[in-house]
A and B are shown apart, each in its own frame.
Chain A
Amino acid sequence: EVQLVESGGDLIQPGGSLRLSCEASGFTVGTNYMNWVRQAPGKGLEWVAVLYSGGSTYYAESVRGRFIISRDNSKNTLYLQMNNLKREDTAVYFCARDKRAYTNGAWYFDLWGRGTLVTVSS
Chain B
Amino acid sequence: DIEMTQSPSSLSASVGERVSITCQASQDIRNYLNWYQQKPGKAPKVLIYEASKLETGVPSRFSGSGSGTSFTLTINNLQPEDVATYYCQQCENLFTFGPGTKVDLK
Contacts and interface: CB of A to CB of B under 8 A. Distances in A.
Interface string B81-97: 00001010101001111
A27 interface: no
Given A108-B34, A108-B91, 9 more contacts: A35-B95, A45-B89, A58-B94, A101-B53, A106-B51, A109-B36, A109-B44, A109-B46, A112-B43
Q: How large is the interface on B (under 10, 10 to 19, 20 to 34, 35 or more residues)?
A: 20 to 34
B44 A112 contact: yes
A105 B32 CA distance: 8
Interface of A: 35, 37, 44-47, 50, 58, 61, 94, 101, 105-110, 112-115
A35 B38 CA distance: 17
A58 B96 CA distance: 13
A107 B99 CA distance: 20
Interface string B46-90: 100111010100000000000000000000000000000101010
B97 A106 contact: no
16 contacts: A37-B97, A44-B85, A47-B95, A47-B97, A50-B95, A94-B44, A105-B49, A105-B50, A106-B49, A107-B91, A108-B34, A108-B49, A108-B89, A108-B91, A113-B43, A114-B42
A102 to B, nearest CB: 10
Contact of B43 (A47, A61, A105, A114): A114
Nearest to A6: B43
